């Protein structure tokens, strides 16, 4: 049949035996996602077109995460509109302050997405769920509105690039370093409207948190989606989370790929993306002396348990540099509780950090850490575009939680290997 993982999932959701790259298909959806920024627009379109019901109240998720707790009147009104809509149509997966988290960390944690699912979300980083072996991709709010009403969406079947993963990561090297390395290698348009498919013997050395971080940034290479082979690590993660049957799809041995890249994890160094594109990467050994003003550890890319643990281990017994602000944002309430129980919150506070409730916050220049003119930040977020985190003359350096924590201690971009822990 010569189909990739993505093509098999799309074929199954169109009730066809096979699909080919470039083909237009209409697929049934397993989940439609929106947040407090994109859902209000979708609701307006939903109502403008006269829809009076949703296709399945259990297959829609609304997560209030971007500007929550509400930072101003407009964000409060947007959230209220979502809350009223969710109540009217009995949306079971509605998450607000106190029960929320950053959407792309929360849905996997809650078992809302499973291997083999077909997912759309009105947020570009919906591609995160490919770490679970699902086809998931970002769409506009109009597509979200149509998805909520009909349970279907149109796609052009993407061609694929294969990444054959081998080896094992070094001590302070994380999934974030791997995906930054790949984006630096192929560029921000290197996988334009393609499926980035990850497989190989090295997958067994990548945790689920690392995979989620990598799939999250597939869009930063221009990809339609990123997707990982489902293995024992995936199934162990889903155990006691997903309470329904799911289907695992494997690529055919003769599946067609436009390119195949071999990625040896053991050769990857801690990596930093310089302003103002994620492809502008340097290894930590090439960075030089770059003083910083702020560090952000969190986001849908790196706010999970593994990320909090790494940051806490490096910050333990240390204190952030004078003049540096370090903001730690656990991605979900469960991550926050785990950090609290393990003493990591105390570690962060004793090191001079501030700890926030789960929110996207500063990642998109929303709140909780906006940059002033001329300021530099090291952030574990996914984008470093001009003005992304505040003033257009500020700078964002993307890095892993290990590099971010080390940099907060030194006051300039630093290797975690050089910080006493």
The answer on 343 and 201 residing in a single domain is no
The answer on 245 and 102 residing in a single domain is yes
**Residue finishing a domain among 212, 246, 265:** 265
Residue 274: Cβ within 10 Å count: 20
pTM confidence score: 0.94
The answer on 214 and 119 residing in a single domain is yes
Residue 159: Cβ within 10 Å count: 20
The answer on 291 and 226 residing in a single domain is no
For residue 356, give the CATH number of its domain. 3.30.499.10
The answer on 291 and 203 residing in a single domain is no
| Sequence-distant (≥ 6) Cβ neighbours of residue 279 within 8 angstroms | 183, 184, 187, 188, 190, 220, 273
The answer on 306 and 246 residing in a single domain is no
Domain count, the chain: 2
Domain that holds residue 34: 5-265
DSSP 3-state of 7: helix
**Residue finishing a domain among 265, 293, 314:** 265
In a structure prediction context, what are the per-residue pLDDT tens digits for the chain, which is 421 residues long? 689 999 999 999 998 889 999 999 999 999 999 999 999 999 999 999 999 999 999 999 999 999 989 999 999 999 999 999 999 999 999 999 988 899 999 999 999 999 999 999 999 999 999 999 999 999 999 999 999 999 999 999 999 999 999 999 999 999 999 999 999 999 999 999 999 999 999 999 999 999 999 999 999 999 999 999 999 999 999 999 999 999 999 999 999 999 999 999 999 999 999 999 999 999 999 998 999 999 999 999 999 999 999 999 999 999 999 999 999 999 999 999 999 999 999 999 999 999 999 999 998 888 999 999 999 999 999 999 988 999 999 999 999 999 999 999 999 999 998 875 4
The answer on 254 and 383 residing in a single domain is no
The answer on 314 and 259 residing in a single domain is no
The answer on 166 and 79 residing in a single domain is yes
The answer on 315 and 175 residing in a single domain is no
The answer on 294 and 236 residing in a single domain is no
The answer on 115 and 202 residing in a single domain is yes
**Residue finishing a domain among 226, 242, 265:** 265
């Amino acid at each position: 049949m010569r189909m990739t993982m993505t093509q098999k999932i799309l074929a199954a959701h169109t009730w066809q035996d096979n699909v080919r790259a470039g083909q237009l298909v209409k697929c049934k959806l397993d989940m439609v996602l929106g947040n407090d920024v994109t859902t209000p627009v979708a609701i307006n379109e939903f109502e403008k077109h006269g829809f009076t019901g949703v296709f399945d109240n259990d297959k829609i998720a609304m997560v209030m995460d971007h500007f929550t707790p509400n930072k101003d009147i407009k964000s409060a009104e947007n959230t209220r509109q979502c809350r009223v809509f969710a109540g009217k149509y009995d949306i079971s997966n509605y998450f607000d302050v106190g029960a929320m988290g950053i959407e792309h960390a929360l849905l996997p944690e809650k078992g809302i997405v499973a291997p083999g699912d077909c997912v759309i979300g009105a947020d570009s980083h919906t591609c995160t769920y490919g770490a679970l072996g699902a086809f998931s991709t970002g769409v506009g709010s109009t597509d979200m509105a149509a998805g909520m009403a009909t349970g279907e969406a149109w796609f052009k079947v993407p061609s694929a690039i294969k990444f054959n993963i081998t080896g094992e990561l070094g001590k302070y090297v994380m999934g974030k370093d791997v995906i930054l390395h790949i984006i630096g290698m192929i560029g921000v348009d290197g996988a334009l409207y393609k499926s980035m498919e990850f497989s190989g013997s090295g997958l067994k050395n990548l945790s689920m948190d690392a995979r989620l971080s990598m799939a999250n940034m597939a869009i930063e290479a221009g990809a339609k989606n990123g997707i990982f082979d489902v293995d024992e690590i995936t199934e162990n993660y889903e155990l006691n989370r997903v309470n329904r049957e799911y289907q695992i799809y494997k690529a055919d041995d003769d599946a067609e790929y436009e390119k195949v890249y071999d990625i040896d994890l053991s050769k990857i160094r801690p990596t930093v993306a310089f302003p103002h594109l994620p492809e502008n990467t340097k290894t930590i050994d090439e960075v030089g002396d770059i003083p910083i003003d702020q560090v952000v550890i969190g986001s849908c890319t790196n706010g999970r348990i593994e990320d909090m643990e790494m940051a806490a281990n490096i910050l333990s017994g240390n204190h952030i540099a004078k003049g540096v602000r370090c903001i730690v944002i656990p991605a979900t309430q469960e991550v926050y509780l785990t950090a609290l129980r393990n003493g990591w919150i105390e570690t962060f506070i004793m090191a001079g950090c501030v700890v926030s409730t789960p929110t996207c916050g500063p990642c998109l220049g929303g709140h909780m850490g906006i940059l002033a003119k001329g300021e530099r930040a090291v952030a574990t977020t996914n984008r470093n575009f001009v003005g992304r985190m505040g003033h257009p003359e500020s700078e964002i350096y993307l890095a892993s939680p290990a590099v971010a924590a080390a940099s907060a201690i030194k006051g300039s971009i630093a290797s975690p290997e050089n910080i006493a822990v």
